[in-house]
C-alpha cells in the first residue's frame, strides 16, 4: 500500500506546516461531503477558516489518525471508527453539555456514534451506474460481481477492507463482518473472478476525475449520495444513478468528531454545534441531497426530499441491511492481503 503511505506522509507534513496559522480548523473529511456555503457562512460569522483535507478510504483516514502529530481538529469517522478511536481516547467525548446540538438527535443515532461524534449522514452501500449506458438499474450484486462482457474494464471497485467485501459477502448470504477463513476465501474467489472486468480499485469520486480513465467507468461500488457528486463532477445532471441490490447491503452512519488532542478544541466544538444545528444540518442536507439525522432539521426539509426513496430508503431496503462491526485484527489483515493481490488478476 505504498500509495496510501505516501499520501499519509504528505498530509501529515502539510498539516504540521498549516497548524501554526491562527484561526484555522483542520477538518479531515471525504471529498465534497460538506456544503461549502455552510463553511463560508461560518467563516463570515466567526472569522475562523476551515481547511478541508480529503481522504478517499477509511484505511487512508485511519493511517492519519494513528499519527499523534496529525494536527487534525475535526474528523468524519464511520460508527465503527467512532467506537474504535473513542476507546483509544483519540476522540473527545461529546454530550449536550459541550455540544448542545445533540439534543436534536435521537438516541439511536447518538448511541451508534458511541458518545464520540455528532451523527452526520446515514446511507447504504450500493451500485452506481451510468444511465446512458446501463439502461436497466442493476438489481443484484451479481450484476457487479459477475458482470456482462460489455462491462469489462468499465467497473470501479473500492480497495477498502470493509466496503470491498460487501458485494461478495452479501452475494454469498454471509455477514459483511465475516472473519471465518472459509467465508473470506469464498469472497476472495468471487473478487478474483471479477478482477479482469475491473478498471480501477480507486474510490469512484477520485477515479472519475482521472482524465485517462474517468470516462471509461460505467459501473462503480459506492455510497448512496455519490451519484449527485458524480453528476456534479461530469457536469451532466441525472447521468449517474444509484441502486441497492436485492440481497441487501451495508447500512452506514458517519459521525463528525473532535480530536481529543486538538489545541483548538473549543473552536472545533463550536463549529460542530454550528453544522449540527437545525438550520445548519438542513442546509447541509439540501446542498448535498443527503439524509439528515437531525430530527429538528428533518422537519424543515421539503416534503419532496423527505419522501424521496433515493435519499430515505424504504423500510424493506433497510430491513435487509447489516451494520458494520469492529473486525478482529486477523480479519482485517486477511482482507488487506486479499486486496493487495487483486491487481495480479486484472
Measured CA to CA in angstroms, residue 342 lies from 119, 157, 189, 197 at distances of: 34, 11, 10, 12
The answer to whether residues 229 and 263 belong to one domain is: no
- Residue 225 to residue 56: CA distance in whole angstroms: 15
More confident residue, 310 or 224: 224
- pLDDT tens for 269-297 read 999 999 999 999 999 999 999 999 999 99
212 pLDDT band (50/70/90 cuts)?
A: confident
Q: Are residues 155 and 84 in the same domain?
A: no
pLDDT at residue 27 is higher than 70: yes
b/e 232-261 (16+ beta carbons within 10 angstroms → b):
ebeeeeeebbbbbbebbbbbbbbbbbbbeb
Is residue 128 located within the same domain as residue 219?
yes
Span of 55-59, 82-86, 197-201, 224-228 with lowest mean pLDDT: 55-59
What pLDDT sits at residue 313? 85
**One domain, residues 86 and 145:** no
Q: For residue 223, give the C-alpha cell.
A: 455510497
Judge if 113 and 56 occupy the same domain. yes
- Is residue 150 located within the same domain as residue 296? no
Q: Is the pLDDT of residue 307 over 50?
A: yes
Confidence band for 126, pLDDT divided at 50, 70 and 90: very high
Report pTM: 0.86
287 and 297 assigned to the same domain: yes
Q: What is the pLDDT of residue 9?
A: 41
pLDDT digits (tens, 9 = 90+) for 223-239: 999 999 999 999 999 99
Asked if residue 135 has pLDDT above 60, the reply is: yes
CATH of the domain at 268: 3.40.190.10
Q: Over the chain, what is the mean pLDDT?
A: 92
Task: Kindly state whether residues 237 and 335 are assigned to the same domain.
Answer: yes
pLDDT tens per residue, range 63-118: 999 898 999 999 999 999 999 999 999 999 999 999 999 999 999 999 999 999 99
Q: Is residue 20 predicted with pLDDT exceeding 60?
A: no
Cβ 326 vs Cβ 179: under 8 Å: no
Q: Are residues 144 and 189 in the same domain?
A: yes
Please state the domain count of the chain: 2
Q: Over 90: is that where the pLDDT of 56 sits?
A: no
Q: Are 310 and 156 in contact (CB under 8 A)?
A: no
Say what the pLDDT of residue 319 is: 87
pLDDT confidence of residue 22: 52
- Domain of residue 272, residue span: 2-121+252-312
Q: Which residue has the higher pLDDT, 8 or 235?
A: 235
- Assess whether 225 and 336 both reside in one domain: yes
pLDDT of 143 reads 98
Same domain, 136 and 238: yes
Looking at residue 3, what is its pLDDT? Answer: 34
If you average pLDDT over residues 305-328, what whole number do you get? 89
Residues 328 and 207 in one domain: yes
- pLDDT, residue 316, reads 84
Rounded to 10 deg, the angle between the 58-65 and 79-87 helix axes is 20
pLDDT higher than 90, residue 17: no
Amino acid at each position: 500500500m505504498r500509495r496510501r503511505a505516501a499520501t499519509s506522509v504528505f498530509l501529515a507534513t502539510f498539516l504540521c506546516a498549516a497548524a501554526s496559522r491562527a484561526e484555522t480548523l483542520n477538518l479531515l473529511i471525504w471529498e465534497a461531503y460538506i456544503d461549502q456555503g455552510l463553511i463560508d457562512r461560518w467563516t463570515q460569522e466567526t472569522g475562523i477558516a476551515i481547511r478541508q483535507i480529503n481522504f478517499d478510504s477509511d484505511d487512508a483516514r485511519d493511517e492519519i489518525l494513528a499519527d499523534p502529530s496529525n494536527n487534525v481538529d475535526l474528523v468524519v469517522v464511520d460508527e465503527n471508527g467512532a467506537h474504535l478511536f473513542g476507546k483509544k481516547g483519540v476522540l473527545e467525548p461529546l454530550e449536550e453539555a459541550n455540544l448542545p446540538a445533540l439534543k436534536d438527535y435521537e438516541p439511536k443515532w447518538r448511541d451508534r456514534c458511541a458518545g464520540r461524534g455528532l451523527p452526520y449522514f446515514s446511507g447504504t452501500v450500493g451500485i452506481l451506474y451510468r444511465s446512458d449506458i446501463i439502461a436497466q438499474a442493476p438489481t443484484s450484486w451479481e450484476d457487479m460481481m459477475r458482470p456482462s462482457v460489455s462491462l469489462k474494464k468499465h467497473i470501479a471497485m473500492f480497495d477498502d477492507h470493509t466496503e470491498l467485501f460487501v458485494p461478495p459477502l452479501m452475494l454469498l448470504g454471509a455477514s459483511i463482518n465475516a472473519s471465518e477463513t472459509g467465508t473470506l476465501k469464498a469472497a476472495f474467489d468471487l473478487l478474483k473472478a471479477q478482477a479482469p472486468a475491473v478498471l480501477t480499485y480507486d474510490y469512484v469520486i477520485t477515479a472519475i476525475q482521472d482524465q485517462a480513465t474517468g470516462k471509461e467507468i460505467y459501473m462503480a461500488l459506492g455510497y448512496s449520495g455519490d451519484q449527485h457528486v458524480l453528476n456534479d463532477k461530469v457536469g451532466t445532471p441525472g447521468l449517474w444513478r444509484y441502486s441497492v441490490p436485492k440481497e441487501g447491503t451495508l447500512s452506514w452512519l458517519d459521525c463528525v468528531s473532535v480530536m481529543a488532542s486538538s489545541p483548538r478544541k473549543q473552536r472545533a466544538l463550536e463549529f460542530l454545534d454550528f453544522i449540527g444545528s437545525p438550520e445548519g444540518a438542513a442546509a447541509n442536507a439540501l446542498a448535498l441531497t443527503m439524509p439528515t439525522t437531525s430530527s429538528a432539521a428533518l422537519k424543515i426539509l421539503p416534503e419532496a426530499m423527505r419522501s424521496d426513496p433515493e435519499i430515505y430508503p424504504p423500510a424493506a431496503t433497510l430491513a435487509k441491511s447489516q451494520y458494520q462491526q469492529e473486525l478482529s485484527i486477523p480479519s482485517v489483515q486477511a482482507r488487506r492481503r486479499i486486496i493487495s493481490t487483486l491487481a495480479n488478476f486484472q
